[in-house]
Amino acid sequence: MNIITSKPWDSKSLRPTEEKHYLNRRKALRQLGLATGGLLTAPLLGLKQRQKQNLDFTFVGLSDYFPADLNKRYTLDRPMTSEYDATHYNNFYEFISREDPNIYNVYKFVDQFDTRDWRFEVSGLANRTGVYFLEEMIKQFGLEERTYRHRCVERWSMAVPWTGFPMKKFVDFFGPQNGANYIKMTSFADPVVMPGVRNLNHYPWPYTEGLRIDEARNDVAFIATGLYGKTLPKQNGAPMRLVVPWKYGYKNTKSIIKFEFTKEEPTTFWNQVAPDEYPFISNVDPTVPHPRWSQEFEKMIPDGEQRPTLKYNGYGEFVAQMYNK
Ligand SMILES: Nc1nc2c(c(=O)[nH]1)N[C@H]1C(S)=C(S)[C@@H](COP(=O)(O)O)O[C@H]1N2
Ligand SMILES: [Mo]
């Protein structure tokens, strides 16, 4: 069942603060089997308390689940990027502001984005659909830390410690049905709190991306809820974002509000903007140049130290078999 109608800014209706969205909240809770007779007449202010009483887990806030143990299977071949650099040099078009339109200064404009009590919708060809709380997922799957390389299509690279859970656990929990070949992800998009969504009218908001189901179930695919042992900063895609380090950065959908299991390959934000430059698959590959630049080298943040680009960004041992059929 589709709870949320797909209007351009539908993601707003999943946020808890506005009274006009009360109806959707109530439906969301009912979908979770939480609504009671009393809830139907509950004043908005009492709702949060009621959620707490009725859920089979207690909301404690995401920070209580940190820090998590390091998964030692994923090692780095280079020094870790500093926490300052990884949280002050970000690509997040939703927050580009006229005040300082440098894409990499978006950290200055994220304050009004409220990521508390995050919930997201799951729809399409899956055994479970509806609206779920992120905290429920964390409770269910637990958290682990992984150090991964991170490679933007524009050639800069980093190495950072994410905290989160394997996407495989997430996909298997929702249970793709026969005929589900892809998973589409949609980012939060609210012109009121996101200056880029408000001002960059020529872009096809909301931001969308996707993976094949086998890619989403690969061991390396990760849903991050944290960075440097703490909850994710807003500019890094709080409170939940995709991390697929064998692909270019733009596949790593931030602030995800919707997951949809589909039969057909979903359209993506950057592919709509420039189809020749941003194909769906987008695996890191030194031999496939971007139409406007070579991909043979990458430049490490912050010094610009150059390194040869590695095929699959160095994750071939885990992912190559998916593409060598
Ligand atoms: N919703 C959304 N997700 C996004 C982007 C964006 O503009 N909007 N930028 C992408 C790009 S191009 C990159 S390189 C990474 C950057 O992630 P970071 O800022 O955490 O390093 O986020 C990706 N995810
Ligand atoms: Mo990027």
CA torsion through residues 189, 191, 195, 200, sign: positive
188 lines ligand 1 (CB under 6 A): no
The domain locations on the chain are 63-322
d(CA 228, CA 268): 29
- CATH classification code of 63-322: 3.90.420.10
d(CA 294, CA 307): 13
Q: Can you read off the two tokens belonging to residue 211?
A: 């993976």
Cα(31) to centroid of ligand 2, in Å?
A: 36
92 lines ligand 1 (CB under 6 A): yes
Terminal Cα distance for the chain, rounded: 36
Cα angle 267, 275, 198 (rounded to 5 degrees) comes to 65
The whole-angstrom distance between residue 274's C-alpha and the CA centroid of its chain comes to 21
The residue whose CB lies within 8 Å of the most ligand 1 atoms, and thus the one to mutate among 254, 270, 282, is 254
Taking alpha carbons only, the member of 181, 196, 215 closest to residue 312 is: 215
d(CA 46, CA 303): 51
Cα(155) to centroid of ligand 2, in Å?
A: 8
Taking alpha carbons only, the member of 93, 206, 222 closest to residue 170 is: 222
The reported pLDDT for the residue numbered 57 is: 64
Atom 16, ligand 1: which residue's CA is nearest?
91
Residue linked to tokens 């689940």: 65
Atom 15, ligand 1: which residue's CA is nearest?
249
Coil vs helix vs strand at 93: helix
Using the atom order of ligand 1, give the atom closest to the CA of residue 207. Answer: 1
Q: Can you read off the two tokens belonging to residue 269?
A: 């934000």
d(CA 319, CA 315): 6
d(CA 1, CA 187): 20
Using the atom order of ligand 1, give the atom closest to the CA of residue 92. Answer: 7
The reported pLDDT for the residue numbered 44 is: 41
Atom 10, ligand 1: which residue's CA is nearest?
250
For residue 223, the 8-state DSSP code is E
Q: Can you read off the two tokens belonging to residue 315?
A: 């994750």
The reported pLDDT for the residue numbered 39 is: 35
The reported pLDDT for the residue numbered 60 is: 84
Atom 23, ligand 1: which residue's CA is nearest?
250
Residue linked to tokens 């009004």: 112
Coil vs helix vs strand at 94: helix
Using the atom order of ligand 1, give the atom closest to the CA of residue 237. Answer: 20
Cα(156) to centroid of ligand 2, in Å?
A: 8
Counting ligands in written order, the one closest to the CA of 106 is 1
Whether the CB-CB separation of 208 and 186 falls below 8 Å is answered with yes
pLDDT tens per residue across all 325 residues of the chain: 333 333 334 444 555 443 333 334 444 544 554 433 333 333 343 445 444 444 556 778 899 999 999 999 999 999 999 999 999 999 999 999 999 999 899 999 999 999 999 999 999 999 999 999 999 999 999 999 999 999 999 999 999 999 999 999 999 999 999 999 999 999 999 999 999 999 999 999 999 999 999 999 999 999 999 999 999 999 999 999 999 999 999 999 999 999 999 999 999 999 999 999 999 999 999 999 999 999 999 999 999 999 999 999 999 999 999 998 7
- In the chain, count of helices (H) and strands (E)? 10, 12
Coil vs helix vs strand at 241: strand
